[in-house]
Chain A
């Protein structure tokens, strides 16, 4: 018997089937691996704060009276009150119900004195020569009480500058809804400085302009019957040569208004922007030419935590700007999130020729050393902004001003501490910030 050819025990087609099965299992294995990799690649839930080195830094220097009790500084402004060529700092102190003048003299030396009579709940101070005597007077918005109240306890007060550091208190309007802003400007072109008055009130508030009739007589004209006005910056927004004014209106509305001056004491109100969110927390409005197109833009913040006494920031707090596109048209842009954001001001803080924004935080995590209480938003020249933390203390800042206090063209910042709520830590009253 001849040896037979060995018979194949494993046919080729079966081998191919084996290969297919192995490939299929391989694919399954790969997919399982990919899935486990996806799960493993989960980012940490709490993102780490940016460790980028700040592009600029500021050094804090307390000025004025020392901290006593819990400071309640509601507003700071920069002006040369005594016309000595050195910029001074003006302070609304809600704890003592006084206006402070932190005089700079000589350069770099700041000394505070109280001016005028007590003013209940001073919320805002601005400077203008109201009576045309060549001396800057102070326009003070008196809320009566800083905390919520619907009573007619507001006043429009002028501290008339008599020269020699003396001031006479004049009340131009009283028993009105709580006043939060007063600005002086000739609105009707009669050569006399009129007043734009924002009245937050509570359930009832308004915006009025007060026509200067001369001899300290004023006639009020209401332009808005609505509570919640926080600020009323004045500028020629529509470029027609007449001063207009904007208004940040909070409370039930959360709106930015523009009152266009039609001449002859007539104003047309339009809502430039509105958040349909009663918890939005409007907190500050400033005017300036952010994109250098020659038109005044508006920068505004939301970061108010006054609603029910909580002092924590909310995730939607932040900063935005309304780009003035001419003829009363504005475009909204969100700049970024910032907890408890307050009091934005425009200034070229890093000297690159572009207008930056600095804002403070009124409500943040007081006991968190990483919490940021002042931030510079640096403009890359294309209105893209990079936040740079400037301060991790002091805490609870709701007012900020910028000005050339050193006379060298470098903006100096001034902040005020508002410590009306529990958890006081790292308190300040008035702080001057110089660029390092």
Chain B
């Protein structure tokens, strides 16, 4: 016990490890209990068996699994919160100290610049001392951080043949690394998951009955009757939470990939929770297969990195592809960037730096003292302190491959088709997948791997995000299923995040991921509450005027709507403005990519329109369906409490001081701490004008007019106000149509029938995939079926016929020759017996006669022999 406390005291990172493992423990516990339940069920008639059977649930299975799972995730939340508070406290202390040092440095520098003679020397001396002190402090902080917040163990070591040294060779590791991004993710995921667990206890209560009737499945005997699956649901939820937390915890790509696949399988199981419904099992398959396409890219990316760098550890990968910030002599000129060039192969290979070279320099595992020299000796198979190289296009491919994985997981264009179908799962699952976990994983990984992405890859990311956010938002306008609207809005918001990451808004994108998680979980749980209250009616065309019936749900959902629309002071406002400002900055420097600003700007208005439409259609106006309206009711407290908690978070979680300043968000500044210096190197300026130019790398200094971040910062309000104007237009428009009923949506539908049908068909993506993928696959499948039926089956039939023929001949031989011999022996025996039986007369007297005669005979023979013997 003491040891455990000491462990947590010295390595507070273990709080996060504990938070990860608790849901896994809950999963295993529920799994084992179910297994025991199944094992003891046959013996429930015996007293001992009945006692065991009842211990593991009995015939009436209660809510215990829910309590275990909810308790576990709540405990995980507590652990995460403790870890987060410790981490933040340490970080802010460090920040304060650094700021203090920097202020002194600044003063000393001005003094050194202005002073003359002796004073100047003195000032320079103290300046050097101060710089040294700061450096020492930073090093100490880095060491402490490594000790406290990182850890790993070797999982599998792959040794090249002929090497017996146990430490040599490449290694797959399990490890954890906490920075402020993962700490925040932990708190966010566990908090939302706890609320979703709580919500599910109420929402899934139907599954508690021993016999559940599924009204959507028709069998020959009426509706399907099946056993309730309450425990199974919570078991899956626990596994899901473990996978997601493990993904956030991981310090290497391999562990991320493992969790990635676990998340995928959990989503498959949960989306297909009502697997008897054809639509649900199709949706689960679609989600899984679409994600496989993405994962194929992911694996390619992993293979490229593994082959060229020999490690999956994030820090090591980044350290090897990006130039270091500083060395023993001060700053390095290519600081934080990729170093491209050409390799000359005469003699020992030499790397020459060029701006658009086809090769990229791989930095040594062990950083040398100094990086200078324009021409470098490189090695194909480098020692720890040697440089190496790899083709630039391969790094681009690795980045795109990993991004393809993220495209699948985060439902980006062109793999966005699975997410709306995944609404077939229970609503809490939709909230968990679409808000806190699975789709967040893709964005999170793009953020984590940012230093890997080259300029080309980032541009692909930005455009993918831009297309996705626009396409999804336009589809959301026409959807009438309340959950589908939310699904498309999720796809659209994920597009925003990807776009932000692509245009250098690393902080903005991940900030939006956090805020979006809160208000999207709120919106999904709110829609779940509406659906539950309306007795599983999801069509908004049958709702309307529900506000008096369910006030808590309506008001909390309104909060979510305002947050996602980006109304000032709600969370969405801070993050969306940050994204738009960054996009504006990017477009200012690269005017040819104008669409990367226009698309999100216009979509901000569209988002406000369709979200207002959703709320107004559901809660205001006259009821469209009297039956649904009359039976509607507010949900129980387990469902409304999470709604209220999430609503509060959707308002306050991004606040900073002062709260009316869009750039002062506390959450944003916290995410900012985790930003890799590569982001600044690519899109901003790392200000190293202080140090002298030691490096001989060719220099790319970003001038002010080429600095996206600076421009974004200066024009934050311009972007924000433009978006706000469009948002206002969107809301007013929605109000006119769906509240005041000034315009009739049906008329608009009749006026643009082609456009409406196009949007209703989801831009015909499903049709397109059906034409170019599914149907060709079916055609090829039919060919194979024909081949199978005619060629392979033909051969097999031929073989079978030959066998039959051979067997026939074999049968003839068997029947006649072999059986004939056996029968002959039998017949002979029988005949001899038949002849001999006549001897047995059955007359007692004849037996006596024979007996006497025989005795006499024997006597005579004996007498004869005795005589012969005596005579001889």
Check if A and B associate.
no
**What is B's interface to A at a CB cutoff of 8 Å?**
none
**What is A's interface to B at a CB cutoff of 8 Å?**
none
